[in-house]
């Protein structure tokens, strides 16, 4: 795994590192795959911390084949599975935490996945949308059902989105405890191991769908809560979903700047360059078989 770039910063994005591959989460790595990827990354590239990489990119002192590793959302398996591998291989990383789920609750997308995975019927009714989604008999059809439901609810108002996901899981008796998030103590523990912690809003909203006050609250409060947990400055921010123009706009970039962040990352697929906006840094999603994870 070699990234042949000259004075560019490749920022890799992960979400979960699972104990074993989950067929309903085909774009998430398991511990064995992740270790292999990290070993290859360290052997063939110059792995840098994201904060240091951003500064050196700006100062034009970045080494060739520079790569930074990031995780979004703050899943507990980052602490349990990823951290020991990163520590053993001495690879720096950054975890962007959605603080509203810290130590409690399940994110809406995981509720949908668990509901579809555990449903024993051939279709599932989505509360509030007055429609039944066929599940079919194959794994691929179930994956498509998840994608269809998520696409329909992702851009709804926050409370409505979460309520639909929770009702969906409850309607099939799904166990939503499969995807716990890091606790405050676990966030401190990964930071004590040298892993940087960044903010990812409070409730993982589509910022472009929020009013000014609500967007400000999501951005500012996530920073404040993490700084309270860590007793130190939080420099990095990741835009939820992360597609420029569709998921966040210039207002949100301005709010991130004014909140006191040093840099912010998107899901725009590219490499960071000397002239890249430090508040719109691109990343490359990384996963299992294809190495790619859709947004």
Express each pLDDT in 238-285 by its tens digit. Answer: 999 999 999 999 999 999 999 999 999 999 998 889 999 999 999 998
| pLDDT tens digits for range 120-169 | 888 888 887 777 888 888 899 999 999 999 999 999 999 999 999 999 98
Helix (H, G, I), strand (E, B) or coil at 243: coil
pLDDT of residue 294: 41
Angle, helices 212-230 vs 184-192, to 10°: value is 60
pLDDT of residue 129: 77
Q: How many CA atoms lie within 13 A of 90 on its CB side?
A: 2
Q: State yes or no: pLDDT of 1 exceeds 60.
A: no
CB 70 within 8 A of CB 283: yes
| pLDDT tens digits for range 184-211 | 999 999 999 999 999 999 999 999 999 9
Rounded Cα–Cα distance for residues 87 and 70 (Å): 14
pTM (2 decimals)? 0.92
| pLDDT tens digits for range 79-119 | 999 999 999 999 999 999 999 999 887 899 999 999 999 98
Region 218-238 average pLDDT: 98
**248 secondary structure, DSSP code:** B
Name the pLDDT band for 295 (thresholds 50, 70, 90). Answer: very low
pLDDT of residue 205: 96
pLDDT of residue 137: 81
**137 secondary structure, DSSP code:** S
| pLDDT tens digits for range 212-222 | 999 999 999 99
Region 48-73 average pLDDT: 94
Work out whether strand 263-265 and strand 46-47 pair parallel, antiparallel, or are unpaired. unpaired
Q: State yes or no: pLDDT of 3 exceeds 70.
A: no
């Amino acid at each position: 795994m070699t990234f042949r770039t000259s004075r560019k910063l490749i920022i890799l994005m992960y979400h979960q590192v699972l104990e074993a591959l989950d067929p309903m989460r085909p774009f998430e790595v398991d511990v064995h795959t992740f270790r292999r990827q990290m070993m290859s990354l360290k052997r063939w590239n110059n792995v840098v911390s994201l904060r240091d990489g951003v500064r050196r990119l700006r100062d034009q002192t970045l080494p060739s084949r520079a790569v930074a590793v990031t995780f979004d959302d703050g899943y507990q398996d980052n602490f349990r599975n990823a951290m020991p591998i990163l520590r053993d291989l001495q690879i720096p990383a950054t975890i962007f935490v959605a603080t509203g789920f810290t130590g409690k609750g399940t994110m809406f997308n995981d509720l949908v996945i668990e509901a579809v995975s555990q449903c024993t019927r051939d279709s599932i009714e989505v509360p509030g949308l007055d429609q039944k989604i066929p599940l079919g008999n194959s794994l691929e059809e179930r994956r498509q059902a998840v994608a269809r439901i998520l696409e329909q609810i992702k851009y709804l108002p926050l409370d409505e989105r979460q309520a639909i996901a929770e009702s969906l899981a409850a309607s099939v008796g799904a166990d939503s405890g499969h995807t716990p998030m890091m606790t405050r103590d676990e966030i401190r523990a990964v930071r004590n191991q040298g892993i940087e912690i960044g903010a990812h809003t409070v409730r993982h909203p589509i910022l472009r769908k929020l009013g000014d006050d609500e967007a400000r609250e999501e951005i500012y409060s996530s920073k404040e809560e993490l700084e309270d947990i860590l007793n130190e400055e939080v420099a990095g921010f990741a835009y939820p979903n992360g597609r420029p123009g569709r998921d966040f706009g210039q207002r949100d970039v301005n709010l991130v700047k004014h909140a006191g962040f040093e840099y912010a990352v998107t899901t725009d697929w590219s490499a960071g360059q000397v002239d890249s906006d430090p508040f719109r840094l691109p990343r490359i999603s990384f996963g299992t078989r294809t190495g790619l994870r859709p947004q």
